[in-house]
Structure formats: structure tokens, C-alpha cells
């Protein structure tokens, strides 16, 4: 029998709100940026929570700012800083009902993956802290141990999520028709339709209509 997997979006699915916002807030706490720098991210967070989706403009802005911040910096200290930031926000941002879903899948022998547009550094730390199988996220180029400020593969978004889990299925032998996906975002439709059991978490109106039409379970977390 082929193994099964469960794939989880991160922002507004596993956690309440945007991981990038929490990251930027953590940068301010640790003295890496100023309050002025965080103002635009706070506005993006507000819009994100209101719309329950990832607008292209918010993603483009956040990616650009994070690339500017990371450019030329060594990878290892930034990962260490990410761990501190995740330690600060994860306990109160993690949605309890989704933590329970992760544990349920693990108890059934399913592999559990985070697949997110958020930075891989944050996603992998969260996956490790939750004892999940692993994570895929937006990955900045690293040359000789330092960030170049470039995204060779672009954000982990839309069709790239579907392509990623298709590759994982080939590598691990997953039966995607018997696997699961969880997301709040209409942008994740390619991911959701790639599995046999899509699950919608706290959706906006547009995604609710699609979920109801397809009889997909809706989780009010």
C-alpha cells in the first residue's frame, strides 16, 4: 500500500496571520529594523487577515523587503535569529485545531509537510518544532554562505506548490489520491485539487463558494 501525506499551508492555516509579519516584528524586537520599517508590513498583515488571502502586491512587497534585509548577510546567524523569532510567536500563533490535525495525521502514519510562500527558514523551523516531516517554502539564493538577495525559483506560490507535492509523491511514493491538503487561500487551488482530500481552513467568501460546490470540508479553526 502506498504511503499517504498531509500538506499544510502556513499563514492563516497553521498559524493565525502572516508568518512574515511575525518575522518582521521579531526583527524589530531584536534590534534589526526600526518601527518605521514595520509600518508597511503591519498594513499588509491587516489586509491579509481581512481578505483571508495572499494578494500579489503583499507578497511582492514582503519578498522585496526581506531580500533587501538578507542581501549580503550570512545564512547561519539569520537562521539562528529565525529560531528565536519562531520561539516567540509560535506558541500563541499556532491554531490549536490545526495542531490537532497534524497530530491526527501523524498518529495514522501519514507524513506531514508545510508547503508555503513564506521563507523556508521560518517554515522549516516550525516543521521541526512540530515534529513534522519537513517543509518547503520560498528559498533565497545563498552563495558562499551569504544571501545574494535573489530568488532564482521565485516564491513558493500557486502552481509551484502543486509541482512540489507532485515531486514529493514521486520521491516518497505517496498516493496523492488518498492524501490531504489544508489551506485558507484560493491561490492554493492547484495544491488542493492535487490531492484526494482537500480541506479548507477559515476561508474567505470566494473559497467558501468553491468548497461548498465541491463538498470539501471546511474547518472553522
Instruction: Give the domain CATH number at 174.
Output: 3.40.50.1000
Q: How many domains does the chain have?
A: 1
Q: Would the pLDDT of 51 be above 50?
A: yes
How many whole angstroms separate alpha carbon 156 and alpha carbon 161?
6
Note if 9 is an active site residue.
yes
Q: Would the pLDDT of 57 be above 50?
A: no
pTM of the model: 0.88
Nearby residues of 136 by Cβ (< 8 Å), 6 or more positions away? 113, 114, 115, 116, 120, 123, 156, 161, 164
pLDDT in tens, 59-114: 555 666 677 778 888 999 889 999 999 999 999 999 999 999 999 999 999 999 99
Per-residue confidence (pLDDT) for residue 189, from 0 to 100: 95
Domain range for 39 is 5-219
The helix (H) or strand (E) run that includes residue 198 is: strand 197-201
Note if 184 is an active site residue.
no
Of 11, 44, 184, 188, the active-site residue reads 11
pLDDT in tens, 174-210: 999 999 999 998 989 999 999 999 999 999 888 999 9
CA atoms within 13 A on the CB side of 172: 20
pLDDT in tens, 112-137: 999 998 889 999 999 999 999 999 99
Amino acid at each position: 500500500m502506498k504511503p499517504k501525506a498531509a500538506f499544510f499551508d502556513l499563514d492563516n492555516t497553521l498559524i493565525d496571520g502572516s508568518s512574515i509579519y511575525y518575522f518582521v516584528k521579531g526583527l524589530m524586537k531584536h534590534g534589526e529594523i526600526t518601527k518605521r520599517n514595520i509600518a508597511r508590513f503591519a498594513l499588509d498583515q491587516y489586509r491579509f487577515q481581512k481578505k483571508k488571502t495572499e494578494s500579489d502586491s503583499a507578497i511582492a512587497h514582503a519578498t522585496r523587503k526581506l531580500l533587501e534585509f538578507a542581501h549580503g548577510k550570512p545564512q547561519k546567524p539569520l537562521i539562528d535569529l529565525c529560531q528565536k523569532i519562531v520561539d516567540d510567536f509560535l506558541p500563541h500563533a499556532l491554531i490549536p485545531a490545526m495542531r490537532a490535525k497534524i497530530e491526527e495525521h501523524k498518529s495514522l502514519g501519514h507524513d506531514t509537510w508545510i508547503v508555503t510562500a513564506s521563507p523556508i527558514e521560518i517554515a522549516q523551523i516550525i516543521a521541526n518544532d512540530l515534529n513534522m516531516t519537513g517543509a518547503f517554502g520560498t528559498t533565497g539564493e545563498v552563495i558562499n554562505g551569504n544571501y545574494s538577495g535573489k530568488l532564482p525559483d521565485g516564491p513558493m506560490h500557486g502552481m509551484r506548490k502543486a509541482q512540489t507535492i507532485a515531486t514529493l509523491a514521486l520521491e516518497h511514493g505517496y498516493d496523492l489520491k488518498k492524501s490531504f491538503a489544508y489551506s485558507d487561500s484560493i491561490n492554493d487551488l492547484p495544491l488542493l485539487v492535487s490531492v484526494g482530500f482537500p480541506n479548507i481552513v477559515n476561508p474567505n467568501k470566494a473559497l467558501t463558494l468553491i468548497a461548498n460546490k465541491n463538498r470539501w470540508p471546511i474547518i472553522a479553526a
